[in-house]
Each structure stands twice: as structure tokens, then as C-alpha cells.
A and B are shown apart, each in its own frame.
Chain A
Amino acid sequence: MTVAPYRSRLREGPYGFADLLHAEWTKFRTVRGWVIAVAVAALAIVAFALAPGQQGSCNTAGCTVPKGPGGEEVSDGFYFVHQPLAGNGSITARITSLTGQIPVPAQGTAMRAGLVPWAKAGIIIKASTTPGSAYAAMMVTGSHGVRMQYDFTQDLPGLVGAVSATSPRWLRLTRSGDTITGYDSADGTHWAKVGTATLAGLPQAAQVGLFTTSPQYLQTSLGEASVSGGPSVATGVFDRVSLTWPSRAWAGGNLGGGGGGPGNTGFSQAAGTFTITGSGDIAPAVSGGGGVGVTVAQTLVGTFAGLIVLAVVGAMFMTAEYRRRLIRVTLTAAPRRGPVLAAKAVVVGAVTFAAGLVSAAIAVVLGQRILRGNGAYVYPASALTQVRVIAGTAAVLAVTTVIALAIGTILRRGAGAVAVVVVVIVLPYLFTVAAPILPASPAGWLLRVTPAAAFAVQQTLIQYPQVTNTYTAAYGYYPLPPWAGLAVLCTWAALALGLGVFLLRRRDA
């Protein structure tokens, strides 16, 4: 009599990667604490977006920031001495002086002599007197020489050096249809072309004239990244103004409310000399010390709370195996140790990415609505940018969890692993963004090389060299572009995983 020996109905080994994934997923799914922790992380991200504490002075209809021809938010405030002129022609003027006044820090409305770097005085051809309308201008600036600027975002250099009575600057703009060409000269006889602008749809009768403006004065205290300053004014002196059009009377006025500057703007005209005082800026609007409003990243403050919770989960996904000696069972069933760690990374990364994606999407969509409802000005971001911010945030959460898993493998102790992960990602952010103690340059390096570089995926702002602003992380400007910042985090994850696999294979379990 023969009895058939017992055979397990499970498939014979060796097991493939899919089996490892299934095993690790089963482990993750069945530990209630980990599932709850992932849910808590997701809820924290949403909760911080919905929490109050962010208010602004915009009314419920929203703030009115003018939009430029490209659809971007712009500042468009200056003192404009102009007349409507139809058809082709050109305007020439000589500028003999550009002076200004800047506020004295911490002394109320007191002003002292001084010129901000991007104070502007020059000639302009503008579609209309509506803020945000298309324009092309030639100008002298506070400390950036002669520039040709058009349609807010474009900026071309001309003659270098400051303007003075002994070293005046001649400027000319020539219109031919939609095309405007800018020239500059130091003597009025030798002219050099600075650039050509094509202003699509420039009306037949455009506003042509002289302008002066002066942007916000900013003084940043090193390190503390605290910003003080206020509106400044500039005064430009023009003469030898000539038009090839038949000239009519000049009209003067502040465009765009004069940029909120001191009230002493205006112009005087005597014996062909125009003295124009203006305040404001003709430039892209910026967030931060020199600007207003918040960005989409504001809705994702909870990322940090989520990160800390997920770092605990990631570390314990490995260290719990050591603590409960489950690692011996795991490695007996799957003796190839590299794939075991890989399977764990895939499972924990996928779960946290999914949780991050859902919670970040809710936070960004609802958070913006709440911010606007509270009267805060939120810089609009395109749908694609918002998708990048959401997916990027989910990726930051997932990759950080994988780093925690790898460090848990290296240290085999949950306590140390959690502390290391929280410190390497939160502390650089704290030193440079949240409570900045470092000056801008070392802070920039910290945000290039540490895992905190990854928060660049949440930035939505563009830096404009022609606008003075505090382009530091504290105001949402990161030194690396979004995906490069995420790549830094991924590099750290790869290094940690590599070391983890190396040690896992080399050490006794």
C-alpha cells in the first residue's frame, strides 16, 4: 500500500520578482499601523491646505493684477507724458539726468536721495493707456545702462554706464507697422540699433511719449532674509524731444495708479525740457519681498507633516523585520537579497506615491479656492504646472519613503533611521526656507546638494533679471529647476539603496 506523500499546492521556487512584490504587499497591507499612518499622512497634507491662517486684502472678486500681452501678471505703473499718434514714424529724445529718492528704513515716510537699480526713464510706444497693454520702450536705468524692453518680459542691453549732463543718452524708437526698432546714441549723430520688437495687433493710433518710473526699493538683511523697503521715486530730465509725426499737445498722467508710490509724481515742461517724476514699474509682477501674493506651493505646507509620518513608515517597513526576526524567514524564502529590498522599495514607493498624488491634488485644488476665498492673491499657475506640482510632491513623498527604507536597511534600527531621514530633508529646508539663518549663497548650495533640493518641484515662479526681488527659497525661488531638484533627491535614494543592498548582502541577517 502506498500513500502519496504530501505536496504543498504552492508553486515550486525559485520565486520571481512578482512573487516578492506580492509578499511585500501582503506584509504592508496587513500591518494596520502602517496603513493608518499612510492615511494620516494623506489627511495631514489635505488638512494643512484647508487650515485657516492665510489672509489677504483682496476682495472676493479677486485682486486686479493687470495681465500682459503674454497672459502673465505684470506691473504697469509709470508717469506717462504722451499723445496719440497714428501710423509710422519715430520719436527721439535726449536724457541728461536720472535721479531718485528711496525710503529710509524704519523711518516711516522719510526719504533720502538714491536711485534703485531698475529706475527707468525713456521713450515708449504703447498700444493704449490700459495697464498691461503691449509696448516697446528705450530707457536709461539706475544701474543697468540703456535698455530696450518690450511686452514686459523682454529686455535687451544697450549702451552701458550711467546718464549725466556730461554723458547724456540719446534714445530713438521707430515704428513701421507692428515692428518697432530701438536705437541709442551717446552724441545724437552716431546711432546703434539695440533691438527690434514686433507688437502683434498694435493699433493704428498708438500712445507715444516719455516716461519715468521707479520700482520698490528693497533692502535685505543678510541671513535673516528679512526684507525692508518701500516705494521709491525717480526723476528723469529730457530735452531735444522730436517726433516725425505732426506733434500735438502733450498730456501727462500716472498710468496704473502710479505704482502706489509717493504722491509727488508729475511733470513740468519749459523751453523744450521735460522733467518727469514717476513711481512704479513696467515689468513682470513677482512674488516675494518685492511683490504680492502667494503661490500654489502655499497649499502644500502639509507635505512636511506627511513626510515625517511616511519616513517612519518607510524605516519601519524594514526595521520591523529585524526587530521581529521576520527578516530570517524573508531571506530564507527569498535568498537573493537585492530583489527583496527592491520589492520593498517598489511596494512602499507605489503606495506612498498614490497616497501623495490623491492628497496633493485635493490640497492644491481646494487649497487655492480657500486662499482666494480668504482674500489672498494666488499667482495663477497653468494646469500643466499644477499637475507637475502635484505629481512632483507625490514623487518627493515616495522617494523620501524609499530613502527611509534604505536607511532603515543600513542602520537596522528604526530610531536612528527616522531621525536621519527627518534631519536630512527637514533641517536644510528649515535653515534656508522656513527660518533662514544662512546667507543666500550657502543657502543656495544647501538647496542644490541636500535632499531638500527636491522641494523645487513645488516652485511655480519665474526669476526675471530685470526685476529686483529677493530670489531666495524663502520666497519660493529655488536655485534648481523643478525636475533637477527631484533628481537630486533620487540620486540620494539611489546611493542609499545601493549601500543598503551592499550591506544586506554582506551582513548576516
Chain B
Amino acid sequence: MSHAARPGTHRANLRDAQYALHGEWTKTRTAGGTIWLLLAVIAATVAVAAAVAAATRCPATGCGQDPAKVSLSGIDLGQAVVTILAALAIGGEYGTGMIQVTLTAMPRRTTMLAAKAAILTGLVLMAGTVAVLGSLLAGRLILPAHGFTPAHGYPLLSLADRPYLRAAAGSVLYLGLIGLLGLGIATAIRDSAVAIGVVLGLLYLFPVVAAAVSNPHWQRHLEQIAPMSAGLAIQATTGLRGMPISPWAGLGVLAAWAAGAMLVGGLLLRFRDA
């Protein structure tokens, strides 16, 4: 075995990163479920979006509905599939014992995790882009027939509109961050089923609890710190003033959750036996 670069140098780090990325990409590419889960992200998101759009009506008297939120409501389901993808990215290796081979071949654990995160994020962002564009298209085709017309104060959904662009791009980023949150938690827990339970609990429980809290002060705080409620603030295009958190700040809250999960996962991976 020839060592072209001494360990610790910049070149060696770069080479390790390349190896790690290549290895992770090969594993992801050849694992049976990956492509199906990515397609499921798209299908689930667009199907729910179309169903919700088809069920929503906006009478002439107004409805207080945000067409961007309605069109992008499929993200609520799509994120569950992203969570499966993220949890399996590392949890699957612990399930089969593959992780020992992986860490033998790539002893730099942080580099391995970073490579996993890069591959996962890339795939989720791609699938998310298709899912979001499909959802907006469904909304654009369905909503005008249901009262969301320019006459009622709802211009057609178009990415040329800055709020809609923000909602669309933000929803793609949202899915990417959910992927990182799932990966970090799965790395810490080392079991995909339990990790999915924890991530979905974290996402879905906050809104359920917030809805049950009648104290507006508490409710507002819960919606400001909840990864899902705060993160999905990015989808809002109307009534921004009354929201507990502004769109980009909300996405920032989710980013903080994702970063925290990756940090804890990374530290545990580094200092724990596999």
C-alpha cells in the first residue's frame, strides 16, 4: 500500500473525504430501498398536496387560507419519508453490522459522517425540489377552480413571486434539514426504528401539544421552538405579522435543531465504540 500523502496533511484529508464520499455514494446507490424512498418522498408530498388542495374551498367572502401553505401541505407527510431515509442511512448499518466494516475501512469517523450527510442532503434536496415543484404545479392547477382566484386576492402560484419563491425554496431546504436532524439522531441512537420514533415524535408532538395549550403565551413559545412549527413558517406568504416567528428565523430554528443533532451524533460516534 503506497501512501501518496502523509496522514494529517491537507492533501490526506482531501483524499479521505473523497474516499468517504465515494464509499457512501456506492452504498447509497446500491442499497435497494434508496431509490424507492426518494420516489416515495415525491409521491407522498405531491399526493397529499393535491388532495388537500382539492378539498379546500375559498368562497368570495374570503377564507384566510394561505395558498402556498395549502399547496405545500404535503411536506407534512414527505418529511416522514425523509426521516426513514435519514435513519436508514446510518441505522441500517448498525442493524446489519455493516458499520464495523465501514469504520474499519474509514477510521475517520467524522469524515464518514460528513460524507453520509453530504450524500443524504444532496439526494433529499433533489427529491425535495421535484416534490415541491410538483406540489406547486398541483396547487396552481387545482386551486383557481376552488376560489383562489386573483379576484379574491390570490394571484396564481408562481415562482416569480418572491413570497412563493421563498416558500418553495424554503420547503426544499426544510426537507434537507429534516434529513440532517434524522441522521444526527439516528447516529446517536444507533437503531433506525427507535430513531424514527424519536424524530417523528419531535416533529409531530409539538404541534399537537401546542394546540392543546390554551395559554397564548406558552403556545407562542412552543411554536417558536418546535422544529416543525417553526421550520414550516417558511411556507407562509400571508399574515406574516401575526405569526409567532418570521419565515427565515423559523427555518433557522430547525437548522439549529439539525446542527445540534448532528453535533451530538458526531461526538457520540467519535467517542463511543461502534
Contacts and interface: CB of A to CB of B under 8 A. Distances in A.
A54 B214 contact: yes
B150 interface: no
Q: Is the interface of A mostly helix, strand, loop or mixed?
A: helix
Interface size class of chain A, counting residues whose CB lies under 8 Å from the partner chain: 35 or more
B56 A438 contact: yes
A120 to B, nearest CB: 26
Contacts of B25: none
A419 B64 contact: no
Contacts of A394: none
A319 B196 CA distance: 14
Contact of A426 (B58, B84, B200): B200
A460 to B, nearest CB: 15
B171 interface: no
A63 interface: no
B215 interface: yes
Contact of A435 (B52, B77, B211): B211
A331 interface: no
Nearest to B221: A53
Interface in B201-249: 201, 204-205, 207-215, 218-219, 229
Contacts of B57: 222, 439
A438 B146 CA distance: 13
A223 B63 contact: yes
A319 B205 CA distance: 25
Interface stretch (B7-15, B65-73, B98-106, B262-270): B65-73
Given A53-B213, A415-B196, A222 B208 contact: no
B105 to A, nearest CB: 23
Nearest to A308: B201
Interface string B46-60: 000000100111110
A437 B219 CA distance: 18
Interface in A459-483: 474
B208 A426 contact: yes
Interface in B61-88: 62-65, 69-70, 73, 76-77, 80-81, 83-84, 87-88
List the 9 closest A-B pairs by CB distance, nearest first: A414-B193, A221-B64, A312-B197, A442-B55, A434-B211, A415-B192, A53-B218, A222-B63, A301-B212
Interface of B: 52, 55-59, 62-65, 69-70, 73, 76-77, 80-81, 83-84, 87-88, 91-92, 95, 191-194, 196-197, 200-201, 204-205, 207-215, 218-219, 229
Interface of A: 48, 52-56, 221-224, 226, 294, 298, 301, 304-305, 308-309, 311-312, 315-316, 319, 323, 376, 413-419, 422-423, 426-427, 429-431, 433-435, 437-439, 441-442, 474
